[in-house]
Structure 1
Amino acid sequence: MKKFKFRLDKNADKKIIQLAWPSIMEQILEMMVGMVSTIFMGRIGTNAVAAVGMDNMLISFLQTVFFGLSMGTTVIVARVIGEGNKEEAKRTLMQSIYMALVIGILLSVFGKIFSVSILKLFFGGANIKVFNIALSYFNIILLNLPFFVVDITVSGAMRGAGDTKTPMIITGIVNILNIILNAVFIFGVPVLHIPAMGVVGSAIAVTISRILSATLRIIVLYVHKGLKLNLTFKDDYSIKPKLMKRIVNIGIPGFIEQAVMQGGFLILEVVIVTMGTTAMAAYQVGINVNALAYFPIFGFSIANTTLVGQSLGERKFKKAEHYSYESLKITMIVAFVIGILMVIFSKQLASIYSSDPVVIKESVGIICTFGVIEPMLAILNICSATLKAAGDIKYVMVTSFVGLWSCRVFLSFGFNQLFALGMKAVMIGIFFDFSSRSIMYLLRMNKGEWKYLKV
């Protein structure tokens, strides 16, 4: 077991930060859309906040297949780039796009046909106004799933190749447009004869932005000659079953892990629905604020995945281990500082998302709880990123079920049923979820067996 020393390596840290900061900025830009949308929904009313929050949770569950394939793409691209095989990296990207597009189209069609049944299954307990708003939003958002999968697959491949700046730039351009479109379609522009469309307007804005984002990423692959994954029409576009299988070997456990995670989030949302509209809205405010804190953690985990994957491709095992521990140290420091700020400014942060005093009061406790456990979130994400980069994703998959479902879902439900704690029960469950998984991942990373796995 490696002895953990909290002493930073400036050279390694510089490389980690160089890869991490564009990913951090990209996530900030990406989540700005969700944040602005939630703020806009808050101005429309609590029902709108609750409805869009429910839909986003459900859409996140439907997107788990894409995240699994994206993870498989990132890991394989990082490995083959480390091996010095650029052509294989480009072939990996194309095979991932083929698979993901088929799945994206199927999920979009399935969701459209059974939209009412799906929403009734998960959110039938919501009041009729919230349900109808959610249904309108859901039916429009489903249209962007095929484009979304192209978007995250290409981004994942770029990151695996060590390019985090290009995805950031594209995300920035698209999200500026997204914010503008949200404002225009939600509230209307009488001078331009554009009516106010409320929640439906937000769904249209997000869909247009997703289509544009996917289109831009594909165009950049062909016109930007400086990219490691620069495509040409002379490249090999044939289907490669063996390469697809290699991606799927990482992608399927990645999909199951995300399905377990998103399924847990979704069921927890169902539990919260029974607590009332105020609890639903407060929880959405809390997770949106925590998403802001999650940006740097996600950025460092992306940098860690790339550097560990490429080091393993080079068969430099000590280098891979060194990067994983350096990423962990930096991220824990950042998470600790962010957590303190979340606790100090919890009321101000809650007020950004809602003007309802009751919602704000409920949100403050949720935000403070997330602030306290931010360092554990750093451990959880960096250690799991190391294991995923190495191909040890089955362990992450199993422990995700153990931690999230036994603690976050069942413990929250049990505490609320037994002691009627409401949202306090949910936050207790989240605390134990983060604690258990961070310990399991850290112990697994310390064993070091992940360095010698084949993918």
Structure 2
Amino acid sequence: MSTQTRSYTLNNMVSIIRQSLNGEQQDYTQGSIPRAVFLLAIPMILELSLESVFAVVDMFFVGKLGENAIATVGLTESVITIVYSVAIGLSTAATAIVARRTGEKNPEAAASAGAQAIVIGFIVAVTLSAIGIFFAPHILAGMGASAAVVRDGAIFTRIMLGGSTAVLFLFLINGVFRGAGDAAMAMKSLWVASIINIILCPIFIHFFGLKGAAIATVIGRSTGVAYQCYHLFRGNGILKFKASLFRLTKETVQSIVKIAWPATLQFIIASGSWIVMARLVAETGGTTASAGYQIAIRNVVFFILPAWGLSNAAATLVGQNLGARQAQRAEQSVLLTARYNAIFMSLVMVLFLFLAKPIIHIFTDDVGVAQYGARSLQIIGSAYIFYGIGMVMTQALNGAGDTRTPTVINFVCFWLFQIPFAYLLAKGLDLKSTGAFIAIPVAESLIALVAWYYFKKGKWKEVKV
């Protein structure tokens, strides 16, 4: 490659990065597909990368409080994933509908769909927060936590679950931004939330102990939502919001619910499976294994979230290109995104396989906890390349509005396969917590293969939104 060619390529990449971060309005239904993927993917990856950093930083400081604190955070996170499931379900619906209307070049209809999704989200969020506030100790106990963990961690769980409204709105409004192609704004709002979290977390933990971590998280996420709302209602973005758009209409509500409930169920199925797996690890390995597993999961999430960001780019491209009646371009966008994700996740897989022990030792000096953590990180990370492919295929189907197919795939692969298989290995073959670890990559690989099959069948191209 000549010096002139290298210079042109570098300048081109710098230009793409600058455009993606500035949030310049783009038409993703025309032009170069690789360029469209990068323009969306760069801010989406960065959006969730800092969230990943926060998750790891949070566990680093919480880890200094002992295994009970680690177990409390892990078990609470397992439960709060149900809140994330609802948030992601509504966000998926908002992205799919807003993207489709944007591709149809109907910005007012896109804004109307986003506004009505926010109204529905508010009703759901208040309900979930109330449940979390009143039933936090019972939720921890139901997860198999010891009496000491329930005693020490109930206040943390109550604050985290009580702050569900902020979590739901953060994901939902970002789904609206992403559907419109404004990935940069979604990135900035989550960065605001995560940076505040990272700053406040060690300070609040120092003064208030474990509950300080929860307070910092809720403050950070609430600030992110305030930032979103400020830009959402200024009226100078891609979508123009006005009061009349927030009136619920039967047609739009039905469309949102039709996409959102399977998407919510889809992620609840996955989250429920993770809750069962966390409980199985605690039952068969005790608090030490549970703490090691939770540290490993935080590291798994650290690298999955950027890959999830890349997958979200596929969802937006599918929705907008189907709206523009360009199904072939939508398919090509997904295949290219899957290739990029597979390359990234294969690099992470190598990292986990060979550097698991030093990674886990960053978070704990406890020999027993570190041993379980390294083992689970190696085993779970062994199929990372399949995670990357499966995420893109699933998000592509969701972006097309076909949320039912991934829901069925999740139910079969998680509940009819992963959980029975994990119990067989952990208890039937007496592999204990290691058996639970093994079941995770096997099930995730199966999901990737099945999702790929249904994507290639192409029925998602015919879905009406």
When the two structures are superposed, what TM-score results if normalisation uses the length of structure 1?
0.92
Q: Is 1:56 equivalent to 2:77 in the alignment?
A: yes
Q: How far apart, in 2, do the equivalents of 1:338 and 1:11 lie? A: 28
Q: Is 1:19 equivalent to 2:40 in the alignment?
A: yes
Q: How far apart, in 1, do the equivalents of 2:67 and 2:161 lie? A: 23
Q: How far apart, in 1, do the equivalents of 2:391 and 2:79 lie? A: 22
Question: 404, 409, 417: which one pairs with 1:399?
Answer: 409
What's 1:199 paired with?
210
- Asked whether the equivalents of residues 121 and 169 of structure 2 are also in contact (C-alpha less than 8 Å), the reply is yes
What's 2:5 paired with?
none
What's 2:22 paired with?
none
Question: 56, 64, 68: which one pairs with 1:35?
Answer: 56
Name the aligned partner's letter for residue 157 of structure 1: V
Which of 111-120 and 325-334 deviates more? 111-120
Which of 368-377 and 156-165 deviates more? 368-377
- Asked whether the equivalents of residues 403 and 437 of structure 1 are also in contact (C-alpha less than 8 Å), the reply is yes
- Asked whether the equivalents of residues 394 and 451 of structure 2 are also in contact (C-alpha less than 8 Å), the reply is yes
Name the aligned partner's letter for residue 385 of structure 1: Q
Between the two proteins, the alignment pairs up a number of residues equal to: 434
Matching of residues 354-365 of structure 1 within 5 Å: 354-365=364-375
Name the aligned partner's letter for residue 251 of structure 1: A
Task: Give the drift of 1:232.
Answer: 4.3
Task: Give the drift of 1:438.
Answer: 1.0
Q: Is 1:142 equivalent to 2:161 in the alignment?
A: yes
Q: How far apart, in 2, do the equivalents of 1:184 and 1:167 lie? A: 27
Map Cα deviations across residues 382-416 of structure 1 (whole Å, 9 max, x no partner): 11111111222211111101111233322111211
Structure 2 gap segments, 5+ residues each: 1-30
Question: 270, 275, 278: which one pairs with 1:266?
Answer: 275
Matching of residues 144-293 of structure 1 within 5 Å: 144-187=163-206, 196-223=207-234, 225=236, 227-232=237-242, 235-274=244-283, 275-293=285-303
Map Cα deviations across residues 153-177 of structure 1 (whole Å, 9 max, x no partner): 1100100111111121222223222
Map Cα deviations across residues 91-135 of structure 1 (whole Å, 9 max, x no partner): 111111111111110111122222233322222xx3222122231
What's 1:367 paired with?
377
Query: CA 1:429–1:407 in 2, change beyond 3 Å: closer, same or farther?
Result: farther
Q: How far apart, in 1, do the equivalents of 2:182 and 2:168 lie? A: 19
Name the aligned partner's letter for residue 271 of structure 1: L
Q: How far apart, in 1, do the equivalents of 2:82 and 2:246 lie? A: 30
Q: How far apart, in 2, do the equivalents of 1:136 and 1:312 lie? A: 47
Alpha-carbon RMSD: 1.6
- Asked whether the equivalents of residues 137 and 150 of structure 2 are also in contact (C-alpha less than 8 Å), the reply is no
Question: 111, 126, 133: which one pairs with 1:90?
Answer: 111
What's 2:95 paired with?
74
Query: In structure 1, the residue corresponding to 2:431 is in which secondary structure?
Result: coil
* Identity across matched positions, percent: 27
Q: How far apart, in 2, do the equivalents of 1:288 and 1:335 lie? A: 16
Name the aligned partner's letter for residue 344 of structure 1: F
Q: Is 1:119 equivalent to 2:130 in the alignment?
A: no
What's 1:108 paired with?
129
What's 2:456 paired with?
446
Which of 134-143 and 242-251 deviates more? 134-143
Q: How far apart, in 2, do the equivalents of 1:408 and 1:353 lie? A: 28
Structure 1 gap segments, 5+ residues each: 1-9, 188-195
Name the aligned partner's letter for residue 251 of structure 2: K
Q: How far apart, in 1, do the equivalents of 2:68 and 2:136 lie? A: 19
- Asked whether the equivalents of residues 86 and 229 of structure 1 are also in contact (C-alpha less than 8 Å), the reply is yes
- Asked whether the equivalents of residues 280 and 436 of structure 2 are also in contact (C-alpha less than 8 Å), the reply is no
Name the aligned partner's letter for residue 388 of structure 1: N
Q: How far apart, in 2, do the equivalents of 1:18 and 1:402 lie? A: 35
- Asked whether the equivalents of residues 381 and 441 of structure 2 are also in contact (C-alpha less than 8 Å), the reply is no
What's 1:383 paired with?
393
